[in-house]
Structure 1
Amino acid sequence: MSPEPERRLRYALVGTGARAEMFVRALVLDHRDTAELVAFADNNQARMDAHNSWLEELGRDAVATYPASEFVAMLGKERVDVVLVTTVDRTHDEYIVAALHAGCDVITEKPMTVDVPGCRRILDAVAQTGRGVRVAFNYRYNPLHERVRQVLADGEIGEVGSVHFEWLLDVRHGADYFRRWHRDKANSGGLMVHKAGHHFDLVNWWLDAVPVQVYAAGRLFFYGEPGRRHGYARDYDRAHGAVAAAGDPFALQLAAHPRLRALYLEAETEDGYHRDQNVFAPGVTIEDDMSVLATYSTGATMTYHLTAYAPWEGYRVMFNGSRGRLELEVVESDFVSPYAAGELKGAALHGVQAAVEEGWAKITVRPFWEQPRQVPVTGYTRTGHGGADAKMTAVLFGGETDPMGRAATARDGALALLTGLAANRSFETGQPVQVADLLTVD
């Protein structure tokens, strides 16, 4: 007799905004042999209905929907094995902890949570239940970043003494954090947590080290109220229905985007959430220009800068070592049109593949007393963060082997989070912050 096929794991997703789409598509299209999506939970029925409509367009059955208040009951009724958490960041810990205590494993969008108490609750729940948490740090799976880790691990530049990391968000992508719920630090932890957490995780992973001390400075320079000083502000609270928003490159016209219209504009009557707020309107409590100096357990230091209002998008990472220097340079978009808000994230003119083909993405090793050399990199696609999304979901949902140890744990999520939280604390105090004073992670 042939062996019985293994049972597909049953997945439920909580939080059906736009960030859920990658996971939903991966589950129902790419990994349906090993995974089964069985339910959505959200506090907005219209958003769940939108996702179910898209499932039917893909030729898949709609799944059960539950109000977020019935999240725990849903887990039992639908016999859920794994929960996907893609809600507003400040609620991540609530759903993660509840799922762990209900006997489920969890995959969560980054950041794992937004504050120290939430992080502590998650780590305690993992220890108490023995269940697992995976954090969706997809940047680990980008072939460029994998290659950097390999070069460093092979000792090609010796022991790393320092890292310089600069990340630029253009005024297409960067502005989007200032028109949606991220603009309130209570929701997102600010860009040091929500966005830079990706980058801090990469440095932890690249160096195989943990942060020890963080000193930082940050301010709101361009968006919010300062926009009036720079001459960008227009008098409207949100773009939809506002005459003053017509022709404004910072205004997001929701009605022009079928996906966003279904998820947000047509769902407003249920929760009042406005996805298209004016990026220069009052109420922004996050920073848009941030500098960090961090020290790691290996003794290495990192200087980091995040700018959220640049004319082009990309990043530079430089490693100085005892035998030379490693440089990673990536241009993700080199031009932002006057219709920037209409392009949104993921619509940059030059993806990673184009950047490689045209010389806008490169890894260079500069050994002492030798000619510099370019490091070859393969495995790119034009979509999904250079192919990282597909590689990550294959590991998370498809059971593919992960010899590089890229599947980030709750501990990894905590360490990335703590760098950002220490930076936020340093913003407030003007003093260096010892990471262990916030939380000790074993």
Structure 2
Amino acid sequence: MKKRYVLIGTGGRAEFFYGSLVRDYRETSELVAFCDVNQTRMDYANQLLEERYEHPQINTYLAHHFEEMINEQKPDFVIVTTVDRTHHTYIIKALELGCDVITEKPMTVDAEKCQEIIDAVNRTGNEVRVTFNYRYAPHNTKIRELIRDGVIGEVFSVNFEWALDTQHGADYFRRWHRDKQNSGGLLVHKSTHHFDLVNFWLGTEPEKVYANGGLRFYGKENAESRGVTEFYQRAHGNEVAKNDPFAIQLEDNPHLKAMYLDAEREDGYQRDQSVFGDGISIEDTLAVMVQYKNKAILNYSLNAYLPWEGFVISFNGSKGRIEVNVREQSYINSGGEKSDEGALKEKSIRVIPMFGQPYEVEVQEGQGGHGGGDPLLLDDIFGEPKEDQFRRAASHVDGAMSILTGIAGNKSLRTGQAVEVKNLVKF
């Protein structure tokens, strides 16, 4: 019998899941309904089903009919790809209605909502799967293997710098992510990937977090120092925006126009806000120090306005050092182009033994986004179960441990104090 799926949240990230489901897993899976706050956006998702995947259109339900959808369609799984602040609402309802859940990262945005999800899992016995595709990227899996196999001994410290360029990084300041209540800021929405990788690589959990940072590049308060003299709140219909290299023109891209501009009349969401406009409450410059339960420490930084995209990491251990450099292909979320998010432009993994000659570690990269990780993740979610020696499938506990580093970081930004992770939620 085929497994039945419904999806709530038909925005930019949704097609990653439903496209693969109807294209690659038709023999074992059935997508039966879309759910969203916006009917126009669901209608466009149905149009894509027909045109791109030759799949019949499916049932649609507005979000306030979520429970009705579950009762009528009787899905086995609910895929949650809504705005981050509403993830917990649909995760918990789905669990209580007898479904398992597949949720986009981050699992949620604050400690209170995280606790509610943990309690719902414990109460219902149903499962939550968090989709950390970076775990599946072959170079990241190789790092896990090297550390697991003791190539550099016990890891004592990690230095991790993540760079977002002025195409990708700026996009968080145009969209709903710019409001910290929606996304938890970049420490939760974006860095959940990175904090999860450190947990995954080191096989440990965060214990204490200290963070510093702020809005240093984007935002109206920084506009004058960036040379911005004419202000606008959104690009559509604005002459000033036509000469702004940070602006995005929705009407020039049929995909963006159909998904966002044509749907505005229903919910008022503007996808093309100015990165130097009002209403930005997230940071673009961040530094975090984390102490882990195994006593390893992490120095982490994220900057969202750099001339290149990728990350630089060094692991310092009792038997040597691993140095990682990765350049990635920049992208704009749901921009309509076919360039892969996280597609590799160049990478290197170098092992430097304490006594011996340094050497490069070769990694066979796969096809697809996130360095070849996306297809592997999708197969792990929708395909036949397989034994995975690296245990890359992420549970609600993994989802919690990744966001709790960022949530603790946000609390540290507010208070100026280090934050104990154990005081945020109870398992």
* 1:345 Cα offset (Å): 8.8
Cα shift readout 1:302-349 (whole Å, capped 9, x = no counterpart): 000000000111101110000000111101149x9xxx9997997489
The one of 252, 259, 262 equivalent to 1:256 is: 252
Judged with a 3 Å threshold, the aligned counterparts in structure 2 of structure 1 residues 348 and 414 are, in CA distance, closer, same or farther, namely closer
Q: Does 1:94 align with 2:89?
A: yes
CA displacement 1:174-231 (0-9 Å, x = unmatched): 0000001000000000000000000000000110000000011010000012122221
Aligned residues: 424
Counterpart check, 1:416 vs 2:402: yes
Aligned partners of 1:35 and 1:398 also within 8 Å: no
Which residue is equivalent to 2:140?
Answer: 145
Q: In 1, Cα distance between the equivalents of 2:194 and 2:342?
A: 21
SS of structure 1 residue aligned to 2:129: strand
Aligned letter for 2:27?
D
Deviation at 1:88, TM superposition (A): 0.3
Residue of 195, 198, 215 corresponding to 1:203? 198
- In 1, distance between residues paired with 2:185 and 2:48? 31
What whole-Å deviation, never above 9, does each CA across 1:143-201 have from its counterpart, x for those lacking one?
01000000000000000000000000000000000001000000000000000000000
RMSD: 1.8
Unaligned runs of 5+ in 2: none
Q: How does 1:245-394 map to 2 (within 5 A)?
A: 245-333=241-329, 347=339, 351-352=343-344, 355=345, 360-381=346-367, 383-394=368-379
Q: Could you report, residue by residue, the CA deviation over 1:223-268 in whole angstroms, capped at 9, with x for unpaired residues? A: 0121222213641110110010112110000111111111100000
- Identity between Structure 1 and Structure 2 (%): 51
| Cα offset, 1:440, TM superposition | 3.3
Change (3 A) 1:402 1:311: farther
Per the TM alignment, residue 351 of structure 1 is displaced from its structure 2 partner at its CA by: 3.1
Matched residue, 1:243: 239
- Whether the 8 Å CA contact 1:251–1:341 is kept in 2: the answer is no
- State the alpha-carbon separation in 2 of the partners of residues 384 and 342 from structure 1: 13
Q: What TM-score, normalized by structure 2, do the two folds share?
A: 0.96
Q: In structure 2, do the counterparts of structure 1 residues 64 and 288 end up closer, same or farther at CA, with 3 Å as the change threshold?
A: same
SS at match of 1:18: coil
Change (3 A) 1:379 1:350: closer
Superposed CA deviations along residues 47-67 of structure 1, whole A, max 9, x for unmatched, are 000000011112100010001
**Counterpart of 2:162?**
167
Structure 1 residues 346, 152: CA separation in 2 closer, same or farther (over 3 Å shift)? farther
Q: Distance in 2 between matches of 1:56 and 1:346?
A: 18
Deviates more, 1:361-370 or 1:223-232: 223-232
Letter in 2 for 1:83: V
1:397 equivalent to 2:382? Answer: yes
Identify the residue that residue 39 of structure 1 maps to in structure 2. Answer: 33
Secondary structure of the 1:327 match is: strand
Counterpart residue identity of residue 54, structure 1: L
- Name the SS for the 2:48 alignment partner: helix
* Alpha-carbon distance between aligned partners in 2 of 1:185 and 1:350, rounded to the nearest angstrom: 24
Contact 2:152 2:319 in 1 (8 A): yes
Please give the secondary structure, in 2, of the residue aligned with 1:93.
helix
Corresponding residue for residue 428 of structure 1 = 414
Cα distance in structure 2, aligned partners of 1:409 and 1:97: 15
Residue 3 of structure 1 aligns with which residue? none
- Asked if the contact 2:176–2:182 (Cα under 8 Å) also holds between the matched residues in 1, the reply is yes
The alpha-carbon deviation at position 114 of structure 1 amounts to 0.5
Cα displacement (A) at 1:437 = 1.5
The reply to whether residue 183 of structure 1 matches residue 169 of structure 2 is no
- Establish whether residue 18 from structure 1 lines up as the match of residue 12 from structure 2: yes
- Say which is worse superposed, 253-262 or 231-240, in terms of deviation: 231-240
Tell me if structure 2 keeps the 8 A contact 1:28–1:60. Answer: yes
Report the 3-state secondary structure (helix = DSSP H, G, I; strand = E; otherwise coil) of the residue aligned with 2:263: helix
**Aligned match of 1:56:** 50
| Residue aligned with 1:279, SS | coil
Q: Following the alignment from structure 1 to structure 2, what is the Cα–Cα distance between the partners of residues 281 and 96?
A: 33
Unaligned 5+ residue runs, structure 1? 1-6
Equivalent residue letter for 1:86: T
Write the letter of the residue equivalent to 1:393.
L
